Every structure is written in structure tokens, then in C-alpha cells.
Amino acid sequence: MPNQDNSGIMIYAQITNENYIHTVFYELLDKAHELSQKLGNVEISAVIFAPESKLEEYKESFRNMGVNRVYYFDNPKLENYSSIYYSKLLQELVKEVKPEILLIGATTQGRDLAPRVSAGLHTGLTADCINLDINEKGQLAATRPTFGGQLMATILCKNYPQMATVRPNVFKVHSVNYETNTEFIKKDTSIIENLYNPVEIKEFKKTTQTLINDLDNAEIIVAGGMGLKNEKGFELLKEFADKIGGSVGATRPAVESGLAPHSIQIGQTGKTVRPKVYIACGISGAIQHTVGMENSEYIIAINNDADAPIFDIADCGIVGDVFEILPEYMKN
């Protein structure tokens, strides 16, 4: 049963720099429908920070999605993400609407926003969840890895809203058409006018690192671990990825050794990915890595140790030297 004083599920819909709604919103929304059903079909609302001039475009993104209300904030000060303004406005909205659950995508922005909102509202936040459910008492049961990924903990929150963040690619999106009339409600932003913001954004610069690629949406990922040994190994990996149209990923030790940027680290403290094909090259298969890629549709592992744990989750295993196997494939 839903809580008496608090109702509904609210989801933060992040607008990306390219002006679209971040895909993690749709993943959270899919899960929110499941949770809503278990709570007796409670309302689902979304929050966006978007100018009124762009509203028509965003309306399209919410069509037939089963969102009852979209609250939006329009103010020139909100054009770029601001920890101070966004968290204050979201807190005020939550106080007014009183959702019993507030979900935020664990993107770089969401990871900044969620703890500020939970601290401001004196409620709990379970970060980087891998599953969300409703228990027999109608509470949000948020599951996340703990003790370095060795255990899964299901965490309940005593206060409202019960908050959780989930990384992109953890939940699947099922295409369901909901015939809902979504109401768009503009919210007042005057509260931020006199709010001191110590941060001023001067400009955005695109990164120039060569191994940056879009892991979130990649259909093929070629990931490298310490078995690649050095920069030459990663150059070979990149060449192979380019040849087969894949994106490059890496393990944490590879990142920590300076062979790859942190932005392409996959695993518990990196990204969660769900490509169609994941090719693990010279990766042992530690749980802290596999937790970020085990939902890939088809896993191919190349490792010279036949007992490497990565073979336990691989659909296809190749026992051999990655420095011999990758060039051999590239000949074709």
C-alpha cells in the first residue's frame, strides 16, 4: 500500500548538452511503471529543467510514455546545470508534491544532484542501485553491491521520499505504449533569484583524449585489461575496435596504469554497459568488472589462462595470446 501522506513516483529527466532527454530517464520510467503497479497504480511524474521555447520538442519525448505530470522549470539561470539552483528547486518541488519515491539517473549530473537533494530533504539515498522493488510493506527495496561487490545489500529508507540513483544501462527499456494525457506544469523559479551561487561557468571544452567514445550507446565494445600490458596493447585494441566498428572500454587497473582514460572504465566504479557484443581482451573477470558488463547480450573472452573467471560468464571463450589473436582477426 502506498504511504498515506506521500504519493506517486517522481523521476528526474536530465536534459543533455545535445538537448535530448537522457536515455537513463526511460530506463527509470520503465522500472517506475513496475513499481507503480505494485503500489496500486500510483501516479508517475517527471521533472525537467528546460526553457518554455523548447517545450514542444520535449512534449514529443513524453508522448505515450505513461507520465501523468511533467513539472518544468524555465529560467535563464538554469540554462546550464547548477548544483545550487537545480537542487534547491527540486527540493522545493518535492516538498510540495510529496512523491513517495524519487529516482535519479546516476549520470555525472545525477551523482551531484541526488545527494544534495537528499541532504536538503533529510532523507536517505541509495546510490548506484542494480535493482528496485516494492516489499510486502509497500516500501522501496533498493538493491546495490556492497563490500567491494562481494555482497548485494537491499536497503530500505525510513524517510520520504525514498531516493535511489541507478546508472545508465542497468535497466532495460520495454516498448510499451501508454495512452496517458500528460499534463505539463510550469513551476515558479523566483526562489533562486536571490540565491548565492559561487560557481560561474565560462565555457565548455570538448575533451581531446583519443580513446573517448560513446560506451552508453555502443553496440559492440572491445574492452582491454592488464593482459594488454602497455600502450602498444591498447593501440592494437583501438585498431581492432575501429576495424569492427566497436567502442573501446577498459578495466580499472588499465585506467589506473594510465593506459586508458577513466571515462571508459567499466565496472563497479566505472560504467555499466549493455552492448550487443562485448569482447573482453586480457581481462581476468573480477566481480568488480563483470558487474558492469555481465548484461551484455553476447560476451566473447580472449585470455591466455584457461581458468580465468571471465570464461564463466562468456558465451564464447578463446584461450590464447591476445597479441596473436587480434592481428589474426584483422587480416580478414
Ligand X SMILES: Cc1cc2nc3c(=O)[nH]c(=O)nc-3n(C[C@H](O)[C@H](O)[C@H](O)COP(=O)(O)OP(=O)(O)OC[C@H]3O[C@@H](n4cnc5c(N)ncnc54)[C@H](O)[C@@H]3O)c2cc1C
Place of cell 546516476: 106
1 close to 138: Cβ distance less than 8 angstroms? yes
Cβ-Cβ contacts under 8 Å for 72 (sequence gap 6 or more): 47, 48, 49, 50, 52, 55, 58, 184, 185, 186, 187
67 close to 12: Cβ distance less than 8 angstroms? no
**Least separation in angstroms between CB 162 and ligand X:** 25
Closest to ligand X by CB, 121 vs 310, is 310
**Least separation in angstroms between CB 322 and ligand X:** 4
**Least separation in angstroms between CB 167 and ligand X:** 11
**Least separation in angstroms between CB 292 and ligand X:** 6
**Least separation in angstroms between CB 272 and ligand X:** 9
70, β-bridge pairs: 46, 184
Closest to ligand X by CB, 124 vs 270, is 270
Concatenating the DSSP letter of every residue in 207-253 gives ---TT---TTT-SEEEEE-GGG-SHHHHHHHHHHHHHHT-EEEE-HH
Q: Say whether 299 sits in a helix, a strand or coil.
A: strand
Return the closest-CA partner of residue 288 out of 313, 320, 251: 251
**Least separation in angstroms between CB 315 and ligand X:** 18
Closest to ligand X by CB, 157 vs 280, is 280
**Least separation in angstroms between CB 279 and ligand X:** 12
Return the closest-CA partner of residue 159 out of 118, 218, 103: 118
Write out the residues near ligand X by the rule CB under 6 A: 148, 225-227, 251-254, 265-270, 282-284, 286, 288-289, 292, 302-305, 308, 321-323
Concatenating the DSSP letter of every residue in 134-166 gives E-TTS-EEEEEEEGGGTEEEEE--SSSSEEEEE
Closest to ligand X by CB, 36 vs 290, is 290
276-307 exposure pattern, b = at least 16 Cβ within 10 A, e = fewer: ebbbbbbbbbbebbbbbbebbeebbbbbeeee
Closest to ligand X by CB, 65 vs 255, is 255
**Least separation in angstroms between CB 106 and ligand X:** 13
Closest to ligand X by CB, 69 vs 271, is 271
Closest to ligand X by CB, 132 vs 283, is 283
Cβ-Cβ contacts under 8 Å for 160 (sequence gap 6 or more): 3, 5, 6, 98, 100, 123
Closest to ligand X by CB, 33 vs 167, is 167
